[in-house]
Amino acid sequence: MLAPLDDLLRDAHVVALPLRNRFRGVDVREVLLVEGPNGWTEFSPFLEYGAAEASAWLRATIDFGWGAGLAPLRERVRVNATLPAVSAGEVPAILRRYPGCRTVKVKVAEPGQTLADDVARVGAAREFVGAEGRVRIDANTNWSVDETLRALDELAPFDLEYVEQPVPSVAELGDLRRRIAESGLGVRVAADESVRKADDPLAVARAGAADLLVIKAQPLGGVARGLDIVRRTGLPAVVSSAIDSSVGLSMGAFLAASIPELPHDCGLGTAAMLTADVTREPLLPTDGAVDVRRVEVDVDLLRRHAAPEERRTWWFERARAAYAHLEEGSAPASA
């Protein structure tokens, strides 16, 4: 059942939250927030996504604000630090924003940068967390199979936990995983875009193309749908954010806390990337973890960080278009 569109938009707010460092081409994160019967919920598909893809995010918004109650299995979720594609010299200051985090996710393959830049950044991250820490990399589909193998060979001294979605397609992921095994590099392959942007989110598992999944609550249509994908694939999962506000992060935290086995730290500490949030008690990492809880939004902060009126109008129209797809039953099953 869909919440009425009028209920979704009547008291909705659109805010613009600046980031401390540019991340995936974004300097300011815009999100739409609304309070449902269950509490505050978020709608924040990336700006370039069309109505069909955004409709899965809206389904998650409705589910979190109006859906059935959630029964998490844990009260806290261990999280990783997230390191943008910065210079090696900037690494310690950024990672100090994640107190107690034993894992670092490093962005690599940034357009305009070189493999040498990536090696220096990953090396600085390894030095910060020490030999007992964990370092993973995310290339966001920006490498070919050969480029990935070359990069993994260069990065081998840093003992990577896994490489996340370095190549675009499931077939390429499968080829990469096979060639990593043949080479003896010993690095696991994680799938992200091949799950959340796929017509069939189970295809990567059926193809044996990944060792684990990186899943996000909003793009997959909500907590229940995310849990179903994890269950049906049988693969370990890392729950990550989409540069959400603390409200969106709380949705991810409930998803992570509902997965029975959670061997890897999750990417839900990204409130540390924002210079502003919508709550006086943001979902920031402490002792390497975040709490699993609903977030209370502060009205004064909503006003302070309100997006310009033209952006508010744009987001409302976007929500209406996404809602129309849901009504038609045309939202992608996977998003």
Mean of pLDDT values over 35-40: 96
- Tell me the backbone φ, ψ of residue 147, rounded to 5 degrees: -65, -35
C-alpha–C-alpha distance, residues 122 and 85, integer Å: 10
Give bridge partners of residue 294 from the DSSP assignment: none
C-alpha–C-alpha distance, residues 3 and 35, integer Å: 12
Q: What is the pLDDT of residues 100-149, one digit of tens each?
A: 999 999 999 999 999 999 999 999 999 999 999 999 999 999 999 999 99
Give bridge partners of residue 15 from the DSSP assignment: 31, 306
Please answer whether residues 47 and 27 qualify as being in contact, where contact means their C-beta atoms are separated by less than 8 angstroms: no
pLDDT at 283: 98
- In the set 105, 216, 305, 318, the catalytic residue is 216
Mean of pLDDT values over 19-29: 90
The band of 334, judged by pLDDT with boundaries at 50, 70 and 90, is very low
One-letter identity of residue 274: L
Residue 6 has pLDDT above 80, yes or no: yes
Q: What is the pLDDT of residues 50-63, one digit of tens each?
A: 999 999 999 999 99
Question: Out of 4-8, 72-76, 156-160, which region has the weakest mean confidence (pLDDT)?
Answer: 4-8
Tokens 């999944």: give the residue.
213
Residue 335 has pLDDT above 70, yes or no: no
The band of 152, judged by pLDDT with boundaries at 50, 70 and 90, is very high
Angle at 314 between CA 58 and CA 325, to 5 degrees: 35
Q: What is the pLDDT of residues 171-220, one digit of tens each?
A: 999 999 999 999 999 999 999 999 999 989 999 999 999 999 999 999 99
Tokens 């996340």: give the residue.
164
Please answer whether residues 23 and 107 qualify as being in contact, where contact means their C-beta atoms are separated by less than 8 angstroms: yes
C-alpha–C-alpha distance, residues 272 and 214, integer Å: 20
The band of 303, judged by pLDDT with boundaries at 50, 70 and 90, is very high
Residue 252: partners with Cβ closer than 8 Å, 6 or more residues away: 216, 217, 239, 240, 241, 244, 266, 268
Active-site residue 216, yes or no?
yes
Please answer whether residues 170 and 197 qualify as being in contact, where contact means their C-beta atoms are separated by less than 8 angstroms: no
Question: Out of 21-30, 76-85, 155-164, 204-213, which region has the weakest mean confidence (pLDDT)?
Answer: 21-30
In the chain, the domains with their CATH numbers are: 5-69+299-328 (3.30.390.10), 76-291 (3.20.20.120)
User: Quick one: tokens of 313?
Assistant: 């109008």
pLDDT at 332: 47
Active-site residue 197, yes or no?
no
What are the CA-CA distances from residue 172 to residues 147, 186, 277 (Å)? 12, 17, 38
pLDDT at 214: 97
Give bridge partners of residue 241 from the DSSP assignment: none
pLDDT at 142: 97
Residue 261 assigned to a binding site: no
Residue 330 has pLDDT above 70, yes or no: no
Helix, coil or strand: residue 131: coil
Residue 97 has pLDDT above 60, yes or no: yes
Q: In what order do the strands lie in the sheet with 237-239?
A: 81-83, 103-107, 134-138, 160-164, 188-191, 212-215, 237-239
Residue 164 assigned to a binding site: yes
pLDDT at 329: 81
Residue 30 assigned to a binding site: no
The whole-model pTM stands at 0.95
User: Quick one: tokens of 83?
Assistant: 């390191």
The band of 24, judged by pLDDT with boundaries at 50, 70 and 90, is confident
Please answer whether residues 101 and 269 qualify as being in contact, where contact means their C-beta atoms are separated by less than 8 angstroms: yes
C-alpha–C-alpha distance, residues 164 and 150, integer Å: 15
Number of H helices and E strands in the chain, helices first, is 12, 12
Mean of pLDDT values over 73-97: 97
- In the set 76, 105, 107, 196, the catalytic residue is 107
One-letter identity of residue 249: L
